[in-house]
Amino acid sequence: MVAIFEEPFALTHTTLFYCCHQSLSQLYISNENWSPAIILPRFWNLRRLHMLYHDRENIYPRLLAYSGPVLYKLEILELSFAVESMFDHLTHLLLFCPNLKSLFLQIEGGHYNLDDLSSNRRFFETVENLIIEISKSWVSHCKLDDWVCFMELVRMFPNLKNLGLRNVHNLTEDLIVAALQWSFNLKLLDIKVKTTPSSGNDSFSSGPSIKAENIASCFFWRHRQRITCIVRPYEDDYESVSVQTGTWHIKEGFDFMTHVFPRNFSFSPVFLVDYNPCED
């Protein structure tokens, strides 16, 4: 049972923030033993949800059992997935999020098959910001075939403006460009590659070579549209100044691109303070 208090509060393991007007607007859950299907019916006014979903036999009900209510106010969804049929679970949940703008997916493990997607393909036109991050524990197992499936997932969001690919390994330029062939609104492609030992002090390797200028040039040649493409090493946020100084938990402004997009999933801000001085 979840207790509701009149003042903002936080629990150390499963973190909840209770907002004004008796309405919970942000939920940050670090306990992998909870299912969204049991959380969401209780908090249908959420604007932001961050949680883990590891589909195991002891977790009930499963996400595919979720039947509502519709989450009309949900704008930011951050999920860490460890499921066998990610596409089915994700598509099912997104059908209840008609106004979602930003989606952060961390892939923890599982086997993914294009058949799962092609049999249940949907398009979600409201999503403008997308991050796909491969967890550190699974990146060495992530093969090109897996990335083929993940980049097919990108096609589900035709109005993307900002796309982040995190901890990339065994991904090719051709696959990236092919997945973005209908992304006419894309402005930013930010790729952080898994680093491996390489000769030279400043060099890094991600398997197949990925060059920002090649992708940007190809995108312009196909669409006559300029995008900002960045390729850089994937770094652990644990070493960042904000984490080391403990300032990463709370950020001012309900802004996904400013506060969530630059971060790794594990160090996404716990709370985004939507402060309006005019209402103070």
In a domain, 54, yes or no: yes
Residue 64's pLDDT is: 82
Q: Which residues of 23-51 are buried (b: 16+ CB within 10 A; e: fewer)?
A: ebbbbbbbeeebbbbebbeebbebbbbbb
Q: Which of 59, 103, 60, 97 is nearest to 80 (CA)?
A: 103
Q: Phi then psi for 222, rounded to 5 degrees? A: -80, -40
Low-confidence ranges of the chain (pLDDT < 50): 1-22, 199-204, 206, 277, 279-280
Strands 250-252 and 76-82: unpaired
In a domain, 231, yes or no: yes
Which range marks the domain in which residue 122 is found? 2-7+17-196+204-237
What's CA 98's distance to the chain center, in Å?
Answer: 17
In a domain, 278, yes or no: no
Tens digits of per-residue pLDDT, 190-244? 999 887 655 444 444 545 578 899 999 988 887 778 899 999 998 876 666 666 6
Residue 63's pLDDT is: 81
Residue 1's pLDDT is: 30
DSSP sequence for 21-80: TT---EEEE--TT--HHHHGGG-TT-SEEEEEEE--TT--S-GGG------TT--EEEEE
Distances (CA, A) of 153 to 62, 190, 251: 21, 17, 29
Tens digits of per-residue pLDDT, 165-198? 998 888 888 888 888 888 889 999 999 988 765 5
CATH number of the domain to which 130 belongs: 3.80.10
Work out how many domains the chain is built from and give that number: 1
In a domain, 248, yes or no: no
Task: Report cis status (omega within 30 of 0) of the bond before 61.
Answer: yes
| Residue that is written with structure tokens 């629990």 in the block | 11
What is the rounded CA–CA span in Å between residue 70 and residue 65? 14
What are the residue ranges of helices labelled H in the chain? 36-39, 86-94, 114-118, 144-154, 173-179, 212-223, 241-244, 256-259
In a domain, 143, yes or no: yes
In a domain, 84, yes or no: yes
In a domain, 271, yes or no: no
| Residue that is written with structure tokens 């930011």 in the block | 76
Residue 185's pLDDT is: 92
In a domain, 107, yes or no: yes
Q: Phi then psi for 109, rounded to 5 degrees? A: 160, 175
The pTM of the full predicted model, rounded to 2 decimals, is 0.83
Q: Phi then psi for 31, rounded to 5 degrees? A: -100, 115
Residue 197's pLDDT is: 52
What is the rounded CA–CA span in Å between residue 251 and residue 268? 10
